[in-house]
Amino acid sequence: MKKLFVLIISLLLLIGCGKQKNDKKIKIGITQLVEHPFLDDTTLGIKEALKDNGYNADKIDLEFQNAQGDFGTAQAIASSFVQDKKDLIFTITTISGQTMYNATKDIPLLMTAIQDFNLAGLTGKNITGTTNGLNVEKVINATKELLPNLKVVGVAYNTSEANSESQVNQLKEVCRKNGFILKEKGFTRIDEISPAIDTLLPEIDVLYTPTDNMLVLSINNVLKKATKAKVPVVGCMDSKDKPGTLILQTLNYKKLGYRTGEMGIAVLKGKNPSSIPIETPKETQLMINKNVANILNIRINSSLISKKGIIIKEY
């Protein structure tokens, strides 16, 4: 009888332990470098993908952290996620990806909003994700049609950010092919952006803005300065303030996040991150701001209006 009692207790303990293990939630982290509509949409897409596939609050413990543009905070978030032993981590922007990869080579990292994984040194076995696939040549080709007298292109960018470096490398090649002069101004601190723009504007015909995570923090000021100087701005950055960017290249960042979320789910189901190819979205759009064109006395050619992938907007 005593042996039977011990056996029953042992079975109950085993069942209890098994139940406790099964009930354990999956720990997922999302780290985003800075607030911006595009990046916020990316995060929203990731969350929707998880929810749509049954990874809700009953199944996962989801922690979202925003570094508010501060590199030190991004590092602290990375350390916190590793210490918390997350099962999976999503990173949004190159710098978020780099800080997270510096912190762990073991936890699966699903990265997005990155222009060039290789250039950023993000090639580890625990990494996969999506690029934002922006093509500088498309922007410059449209700019040529709007500004037939274009000769000098300017760009200001964070020299320590691989995302920006990748696009500036593209810009150099495109300018070389077209015989344009390219004037560059680099910065490494946010307080260096305004002087860099002030130096560039009197010397250029158009200002190109890459997807630079430091530049985004000053984009309102950059656009105000450019509009006052009557210099059109083209590229990948815009502001909620008017008048804004003349030609904006973008994609559906919510879809980008959603796809990254789906890739993360595949990892949770047993796939190795290194076996999932990094994906680049094929559908990018150019949005031409008619209001900005009017302010700068720029005529929008009918040939541009009819081209696939180009949208004329008043905003």
Which pLDDT value is given to residue 10? 52
Which residue, chain included where needed, has tokens 């037939």? 148
Q: Cα separation of 170 and 43, whole Å? A: 27
**Cβ count within 10 A of residue 170:** 19
Strand partners, 62: 28
Which pLDDT value is given to residue 6? 47
Q: Cα separation of 183 and 285, whole Å? A: 26
DSSP state string for 1-21: -HHHHHHHHHHHHHHHHHHHH
Which pLDDT value is given to residue 100? 98
The pTM of this model reads 0.79
Q: Cα separation of 16 and 237, whole Å? A: 54
| Per-residue pLDDT tens listing for the chain (315 residues) | 545 444 445 544 554 544 444 468 999 999 999 888 889 999 999 999 999 999 999 999 999 999 998 889 999 999 999 999 999 999 999 999 999 999 999 999 999 999 889 988 999 999 999 998 788 999 999 999 999 999 999 999 999 888 888 899 999 999 999 999 999 999 999 999 999 999 999 999 999 999 888 888 899 999 999 999 999 999 987 877 777 899 998 888 999 999 999 999 999 999 999 999 999 987 788 999 999 999 999 999 877 777 777 888 876
Give me the torsion for CA of 260, 264, 267, 268, rounded to 10°. -160
E strand or H helix at 95, and its extent?
Answer: helix 94-103
Q: Cα separation of 136 and 140, whole Å? A: 6
Phi, psi of 255 (to 5 degrees): -65, -40
Q: Cα separation of 114 and 92, whole Å? A: 8
E strand or H helix at 153, and its extent?
Answer: strand 152-158
Three-class secondary structure of residue 107 per DSSP = coil
Which residue, chain included where needed, has tokens 């919510």? 254
